[in-house]
């Protein structure tokens, strides 16, 4: 079972607050959904896709989470 990390929690909160996403939309986010360092594609109600931008705090949280998750994945593989 994956461990919960503060980096994961922070990116969840930053996306909810900084981009106006619904909780159900954030739950469904995958790494592949991030298109640029400040934008992503979200599948919302009715599975409609929309382009969402987010600010610098969410960008920093995303970077920290990606760094943490890749480090954790390498440790799990070893």
Query: Per residue of the chain (78 residues), what is the pLDDT tens digit?
Result: 556 789 989 999 999 998 888 898 898 888 889 888 889 999 877 888 899 999 999 999 999 988 988 777 666 666
| pTM score | 0.76
4: nearest Cα among 58, 61, 65, 56: 65
> What is the reported pLDDT for 74?
67
- The residue behind tokens 């991030």 is 34
Q: Which stretches of the chain are DSSP H helices?
A: 6-19, 23-27, 56-77
CA 59/CA 49 separation, integer angstroms: 21
pLDDT at position 47: 80
Q: How far is CA 18 from CA 1, 7, 26, 77, in A?
A: 29, 16, 12, 33
């Amino acid at each position: 079972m994956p461990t919960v990390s503060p980096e994961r929690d922070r990116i969840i909160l930053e996306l909810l607050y900084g981009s106006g996403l619904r909780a159900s939309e954030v739950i469904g986010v995958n790494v592949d959904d991030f298109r640029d360092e400040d934008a992503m594609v979200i599948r919302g109600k009715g599975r409609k896709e929309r382009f969402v931008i987010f600010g610098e705090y969410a960008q920093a949280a995303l970077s920290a989470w990606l760094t943490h998750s890749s480090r954790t994945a390498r440790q799990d593989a070893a």
